[in-house]
Amino acid sequence: MVTGATAMTPLEEELSRLAGSVPDPELPVLTLEELGVLRGVHVLSSGRVEVELTPTYTGCPAIEAMSSDIERVLREHGVAEVSVVTVLSPAWSTDDISAEGRRKLAEFGIAPPRPQGGTGPVPVTLAIRCPRCGSTDTELLSRFSSTACKALRRCTSCREPFDHFKEL
Amino acid sequence: MTSTVNAAALALGDDALVLSHRLGEWAGHAPVLEEEVALANIALDLLGQARVLLSMVGDEDELAYLREERAFRNVQLVEQPNGDFAHTIARQLYFSTYQRLLYGRLAATGDGDFAGLAAKAVKEVAYHQDHAEQWTLRLGDGTAESHERMRRACAALWRFTGELFQPVEGLDVDWRELEADWLASVTAVLERATITVPDGPRTGAWSAGAGRQGLHTESFGRMLAEMQHLHRSHPGATW
């Protein structure tokens, strides 16, 4: 989600598309735009651009790789000076992942997060579909998995373990 | 940035940094692989919070690696050694419940100095609290051995929980209400886990507010020595 779209110039829109097309370093099937972490692109003066990025989790180490990837892409496009700033507010939510992003996650073998409104853990009783065989008969192995944003589950039909992008 | 905001950021930042380091000590030692990953993930969340908070005060690396023991403002609860797995879970239950309630209030202020971070962190901490609660129930209402260890751990750390509610200057929070909510929440979990709520004092005369004033328990110095050793031995090293 790119906010502040009302005031964007055609150049800013173009740079937003470029920055948003950068793949996530951990989940390369997703772009930063689909992940919903790009908050804004502002041309400060000729050749100077500021990009606002929000972390999925406060301690997510991928944010540094995202920043340097954005800087590289925009520099290659001729922007002389790129600064990426991290913004925390409003807090990122898994609801910010686009419909296309969710589809790609499932295709990649990661169960996408369920839509939510409030905060905090979603009751595990809501069905989470196995991204391999499609069964809704799955169980939680651990609330924490290979990265901060995922939980580890197992499908009781096909017996395969899989990651679930947990709701935040 | 006013000095009271600095002091509050240091207190909250040190809580997160020190607990993060303690949880990191489980790497390679956790009872099962899933727990190793879980504790490392919780540590990473806390480290992220610590970096934001300490950066409000100054250079995060200098603050983490070059301060002496007396300059740290964390509560004594978070510096307590890991002990067995039950001790770590009891520490997590007490602290994550406190942190979730505190951050929830700070987030609700909307525009306070800590509102942005708190609104983000409270969602992460909800998972930490859930993790601690599930383990407290499983161990407390488990075998005779796990029940006894969980009971012992909850009792041993009880005296460090009073300090959590010593008012931190710079935070606009009703501390008595926070304490009442914390007590109600923890009591409910312990009762479901068939563990009698410890009846000892929640502070000792020697420990009331001590961590927040820079007075720490014996094991903290050793923890800091390990945490700071590399940075102090190789100043400015990068990789």
**Domains defined for chain A, CATH in brackets:** 5-86 (3.30.300.130), 108-165 (no CATH)
The residue of chain B with its CA nearest to that of A119 is: B123
Residue A5 banded pLDDT, cuts 50, 70, 90: very low
Average of pLDDT values for B199-203? 81
Question: Does B56 contact chain A (CB < 8 Å)?
Answer: no
Task: Supply the mean pLDDT for chain A.
Answer: 88
Question: Does B147 contact chain A (CB < 8 Å)?
Answer: no
Task: Supply the mean pLDDT for chain B.
Answer: 93
Average of pLDDT values for A129-142? 91
- Per the CB < 8 A criterion, the answer to whether B83 and B219 are in contact is no
pLDDT of res. A67? 95
Average of pLDDT values for B38-66? 96
Question: Does B93 contact chain A (CB < 8 Å)?
Answer: no
**Nearest CA distance, A147 vs chain B (angstrom):** 7
pLDDT of res. A59? 87
| Whether the predicted interface score ipTM is above 0.90 | no
Q: Sort out which chain B residues have CB atoms less than 8 A from A55's CB and list them.
A: 48
Six-digit token string for B190 = 């312990």
pLDDT of res. B209? 63
pLDDT at residue A4 tops 50: no
Residue with tokens 């002091």: B7
Q: Sort out which chain B residues have CB atoms less than 8 A from A145's CB and list them.
A: 37, 41
pLDDT per residue as tens digits for the range B144-170: 999 999 999 999 999 999 999 999 988
Q: Sort out which chain A residues have CB atoms less than 8 A from B122's CB and list them.
A: 119
Q: Which residue has the higher pLDDT, A116 or B137?
A: B137
Q: Sort out which chain B residues have CB atoms less than 8 A from A146's CB and list them.
A: 37
pLDDT at residue B110 tops 80: no
Contact B48 A120 (CB under 8 A): no
Contact A91 B120 (CB under 8 A): yes
Contact B121 A146 (CB under 8 A): no
The residue of chain A with its CA nearest to that of B50 is: A59
d(CA B179, CA B5) in angstroms, rounded, equals 22
**Nearest CA distance, A91 vs chain B (angstrom):** 5
**Which residue out of B17, B19, B37 would a mutagenesis test of the A interface target, given it has the greatest number of A Cβ atoms within 10 Å?**
B37
pLDDT per residue as tens digits for the range A34-58: 999 999 999 998 889 999 999 999 8
pLDDT per residue as tens digits for the range A19-28: 999 999 988 9
Contact A144 B34 (CB under 8 A): yes
For CA atoms A146, B12, B105, B207, give the dihedral sign: positive
**Domains defined for chain B, CATH in brackets:** 3-233 (1.20.1260.10)
**Nearest CA distance, A46 vs chain B (angstrom):** 30
Helices (H), chain B: 3-24, 33-57, 60-65, 76-79, 85-108, 115-140, 144-157, 175-192, 218-233
Contact A58 B116 (CB under 8 A): no
Q: Which residue has the higher pLDDT, A69 or B208?
A: A69
pLDDT of res. A115? 85
Angle between helices B3-24 and B218-233 (to 10 degrees): 90
Report how far apart, in Å, the C-alpha atoms of B121 and of each of A39, A53, A92, B174, B216 are: 19, 17, 11, 20, 26
Residue A1 banded pLDDT, cuts 50, 70, 90: very low
Q: Sort out which chain B residues have CB atoms less than 8 A from A90's CB and list them.
A: 119
Picking from B115, B121, B130, the nearest residue to A58 by CB comes out as B121
pLDDT at residue A159 tops 70: yes
Question: Does B52 contact chain A (CB < 8 Å)?
Answer: yes
Average of pLDDT values for B44-51? 96
